[in-house]
Structure 1
Amino acid sequence: MNRLMETIYLRQTKDVILNLPTKVEKVIIPWDLTEFFQQLTKIWQIYSEKLVHLVENLNEFLQGKQGIQRPKAVVFSSFVACLEIIEKALQEKQLGSTWLLGSLDLGRQDENLAQFQSDPNCNILLGSIQAAGVGIDLQCAQIVYVM
């Protein structure tokens, strides 16, 4: 029995215990999986090749290479963070856009929709699928992107 215990149990005498280094305690915080996947999704959205292609395609479309007089485009996404990243990329290219999100009050949503429909400098509507997916008039748009 002693031989078996020697392989898994280390017995120390008092003189050895006094020479041991101080005890190190480290608090390990468990991962919050929800936050982890949110951050992972955000990184995916930032570095997505789709974003690069979208901005290039929108830029070509809005320059009128397809022969459309007043080109208008709608970009849908389920992620508001993705739309924010797209807006920053569009601002760098100086492309006018507006929002249609569920977090906006109804008056602001109507203003943004009217701006998109009538303002020639506002060519892109960025909308969440939940808010802009049903019940609004998007007939002025010629192309739709779903991210």
Structure 2
Amino acid sequence: SKAAVLLSGALALPAFLIGRHGSPDWRGPGDLALVAAGVLWVVAVAALVRALLPRTGTVRDREGVTYFGDLLAPFDYDVLAARINEAGRDPVGWLLVQAVDVSAILSAKYRAIRWAVATLAPAAALALAWSLAGR
């Protein structure tokens, strides 16, 4: 939900600037701040979209049934039943595999959110500076 809220705000920023000032008419070197803001904004939006996309891989080093990718076709029902039975016999091992999977997924999502914030904040500052510089 953090990424979705940030993405909503990020997508509103250009509309706000254009609505307030109209489209830029590129009057001089000061407009390079807006270009830099645009590049940073694109990076931020891409990172937020990446954070919102579902993860379909895993980094674990052993088999387990811990996330939706393990249940996608094609799979053998007998093999799946055996894996679930195995997880029931070793719940600590299953929880460990699940913790590795969930941690890897969350780590990737939070890394993307950090990238987005790290690029969106200077993009907003540059756009605001451009906006206040007599436009």
For Structure 1 versus Structure 2, the TM-score category normalised by the shorter chain is under 0.3
Query: How high is the TM-score relative to the length of structure 1?
Result: 0.24
Larger radius of gyration: 1
Normalised to the residue count of structure 2, the TM-score between the two structures is 0.26
Question: 1 or 2 for the larger relative contact order (CA 8 Å, sep ≥6)?
Answer: 2
